[in-house]
């Protein structure tokens, strides 16, 4: 088959194409069945219709080092044929979609830049409200830049709302201080045990902000009748970059769950990296449900059929599953509320021979943190840390983390033996953290919350 014929078979970039062929190492694949589950959205894959994938992958760098893309995805697609030598096309011009990325000046630890995946530093993790510039960033693709705020509209069930019309909403503005954690936070810890896939996060894929906007239930009530709302069990929310998820209608409609369509972050316009002009905030629920750059909100009878909802991206599979193709992914639920998490963000010896430790603790579902313990002997003995900012949050509605600290002796055996501090948190449901990752490891590297350990630094020398 000739490349030109192929190119005509599908028109590149045409997003209504019903079938798509792609070429990799001169083998032509029919990628039609993969279109809907392409992690970057079907639109991005259509760009490569009838063309070689290599130059696209060089630009969309998230494919780099992901052998499973070739092994699991391409290998499962029907092969159409192989290109003849004379039909091989070597020159492609792919426009770099990342040339409009926002300027980033905050303190962040970068794992990748295109797409941007960067975690909060220890310093950022020590403040109750994270500065917007220091807030962790997790993007699946380029940042959609909205230059014309006045022209920005959200399609809610076919009704186009602009930011001005939302202001007139019954119920008015509301705000929530919520900690957001990526499902893959601390994935790097899993990796040391057994391979997973995705960004190798440390403890910093978590941050907290004050979000202000409009209750999602008010937005739904503005655009749907009560009867329509009662008939549909899910709310689908899609971002301008094609990321699509759903939240259960009952969560969206429950005033005590504080689900909002936010337009402000820490009292200012949301920054482009965090969803300008408007993003969904679903407190107490895994990061991915907090859709940025909201484009469309629709009620539906079923969950959203997407990579991030019904697909494998955010599913905590049993530890025995070593390959997604081993299981019927639709039989597993997508991740929602997360288990208790904690980490030490500073630890040093004091001049008096003791130790000074601080950190954060968080649990999903608004469950209040009731205890944080530290150990200096690998978990043989534990001491209670003091709960600080965040500790006074209400039961069932503790959407933000709780800061904690410990000042005292280094414990039985002192620090001499191990020189480390371990921490673990318990929430009001009595849920704790497991000692290690053996029992919780999963293929996608989600929900790592083993006891956190960190070296205790030597005390600072007194300045002369």
Q: List residues near Mo ion by CB under 5 A.
A: 138, 182, 287-288
Judged by beta carbon distances under 5 to 8 A according to partner kind, the member of ligand MTE, Mo ion, none in contact with residue 136 is: ligand MTE
234 is catalytic: no
Catalytic one among 29, 152, 314, 406? 314
Smallest distance, Å, CB 288 to Mo ion? 5
Residue 259 engages ligand MTE in binding (rule: CB under 6 A): no
Residue 243 engages ligand MTE in binding (rule: CB under 6 A): yes
Nearer to Mo ion, 176 or 288 (CB): 288
Catalytic one among 182, 223, 423, 448? 182
Residue 316 exposure: Cα atoms within 13 Å on the Cβ side? 16
Using the contact rule CB under 6 A, the part of the chain among 138-146, 168-176, 227-235, 426-434 near ligand MTE is 138-146
249 is catalytic: no
Residue from 178, 199, 266, 290 touching ligand MTE (CB under 6 A): that is 290
Judged by beta carbon distances under 5 to 8 A according to partner kind, the member of Mo ion, ligand MTE, none in contact with residue 293 is: ligand MTE
Nearer to ligand MTE, 210 or 388 (CB): 210
Smallest distance, Å, CB 184 to Mo ion? 6
63 is catalytic: yes
Judged by beta carbon distances under 5 to 8 A according to partner kind, the member of Mo ion, ligand MTE, none in contact with residue 134 is: none
Q: How many amino acids of this chain bind ligand MTE (CB under 6 A)? A: 18
Using the contact rule CB under 6 A, the part of the chain among 79-87, 282-290, 353-361, 363-371 near ligand MTE is 282-290
173 is catalytic: no
Residue from 46, 156, 262, 291 touching ligand MTE (CB under 6 A): that is 291
Catalytic one among 138, 186, 236, 289? 138
SS3 letters across the chain: CCHHHHHHHCCCCCCCCCCCEEEECCEEEECHHHHHHCCCCHHHHHHCCCCECHHHHHHCHHHCCCHHHHHHHHHHCCEEEECCHHHCCCCCCCCCCCCCCCCCCCCEEEEEECCEEEEECHHHHCCCCCCHHHCCEECCCCCCCCCCCCCCEEEECCEEEEHHHHHCCCCCEEEEEEEEECCCCCHHHHHCCCCCCCCCCCCCCEEEEEEEEEEHHHHHHHHCCHHHHHHCCEEEEEECCCCEEEEEHHHHHCHHHCCEEEEEECCEECCHHHCCCCEEECCCCCHHHCCCCEEEEEEECCCCCCCCCCCCCCCCCCCCCCCHHHCCHHHCCCCCCCCCEEEEEEEEECCCCCEEEEEEEECHHHCCEEEEEEECCCCCCCEECEECCCCCCCCCCCCCCEEEEEEECCCCCCCCCCCEEEEEEEECCCCCCCCCCCCCCCCCCCCCCCCEEEECECCCCCCC
Residue 239 engages ligand MTE in binding (rule: CB under 6 A): yes
Smallest distance, Å, CB 287 to ligand MTE? 3
Smallest distance, Å, CB 296 to ligand MTE? 11
Smallest distance, Å, CB 358 to Mo ion? 25
Of the candidates 346, 433, 421, 442, which has an alpha carbon nearest to the alpha carbon of residue 127? Answer: 346
Size (the chain), residues: 464
4 is catalytic: no
Residue 201 engages ligand MTE in binding (rule: CB under 6 A): no
For the chain, the distance separating the N- and C-terminal CA atoms, rounded to the nearest angstrom, is 78
Residue 235 engages ligand MTE in binding (rule: CB under 6 A): no
Smallest distance, Å, CB 36 to ligand MTE? 17
Smallest distance, Å, CB 239 to ligand MTE? 2
Judged by beta carbon distances under 5 to 8 A according to partner kind, the member of Mo ion, ligand MTE, none in contact with residue 135 is: ligand MTE
**Among all residues, which ones are annotated catalytic?**
38, 63, 138, 182, 314
Contacting residues toward ligand MTE, per CB under 6 A: 135-140, 180, 182, 239, 241, 243, 274, 287-288, 290-293
């Amino acid at each position: 088959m000739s490349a030109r014929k192929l190119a005509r078979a599908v028109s590149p970039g045409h997003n209504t194409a019903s079938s798509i062929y792609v070429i990799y190492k001169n083998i032509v694949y029919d990628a039609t069945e993969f279109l809907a589950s392409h992690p970057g959205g079907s639109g991005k894959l259509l760009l490569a219709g009838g063309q070689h994938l290599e130059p696209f992958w060089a630009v969309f760098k998230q494919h780099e080092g992901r052998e499973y893309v070739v092994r699991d995805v391409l290998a499962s697609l029907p092969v159409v044929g192989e290109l003849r030598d004379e039909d091989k096309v070597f020159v492609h011009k792919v426009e770099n979609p990342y040339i409009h990325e926002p300027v980033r000046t905050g303190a962040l630890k970068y794992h990748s830049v295109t797409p941007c995946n960067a975690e909060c530093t220890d310093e950022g993790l020590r403040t109750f409200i994270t500065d917007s510039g220091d807030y962790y960033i997790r993007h699946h693709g380029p940042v959609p830049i909205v230059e014309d705020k006045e022209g920005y509209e959200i399609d809610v069930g076919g009704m186009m709302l602009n930011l001005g019309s939302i202001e007139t909403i019954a119920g008015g503005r509301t705000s929530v201080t919520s900690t957001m954690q990526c499902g893959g936070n601390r994935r790097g810890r899993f990796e040391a045990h057994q391979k997973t896939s995705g960004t190798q996060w440390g403890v910093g894929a978590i941050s907290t902000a004050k979000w202000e906007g409009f209750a999602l239930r008010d937005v739904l009530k503005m655009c749907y009748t009560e009867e329509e709302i009662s008939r549909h069990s899910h709310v689908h929310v899609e971002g301008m970059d094609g990321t699509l998820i759903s939240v259960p209608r009952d969560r969206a409609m429950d005033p005590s769950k504080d689900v909002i369509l936010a337009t402000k972050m820490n009292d200012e316009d949301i920054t482009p990296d965090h969803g300008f002009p408007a993003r969904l905030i679903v407190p107490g629920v895994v990061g991915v449900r907090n859709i940025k750059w909201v484009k469309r909100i629709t009620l539906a009878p079923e969950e959203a059929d997407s990579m991030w909802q019904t697909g494998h991206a955010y599913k905590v599979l049993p530890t025995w599953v070593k390959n997604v193709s081993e299981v019927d992914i639709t039989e597993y639920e997508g991740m929602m509320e997360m288990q208790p998490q904690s980490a030490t963000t500073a630890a040093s010896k004091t001049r008096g021979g003791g130790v000074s430790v601080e950190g954060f603790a968080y649990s999903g579902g608004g469950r209040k943190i009731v205890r944080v313990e530290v150990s200096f002997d690998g978990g043989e003995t534990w001491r209670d840390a003091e709960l600080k900012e965040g500790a006074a949050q209400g039961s069932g509605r503790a959407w933000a983390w709780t800061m904690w600290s410990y000042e005292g002796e280094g414990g039985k055996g002192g620090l001499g033996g191990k020189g480390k501090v371990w921490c673990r948190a318990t929430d009001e449901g009595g849920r704790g953290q497991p000692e290690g990752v053996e029992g919780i490891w999963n293929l996608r590297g989600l929900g790592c919350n083993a006891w956190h350990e960190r070296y205790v630094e030597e005390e600072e020398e007194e300045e002369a």
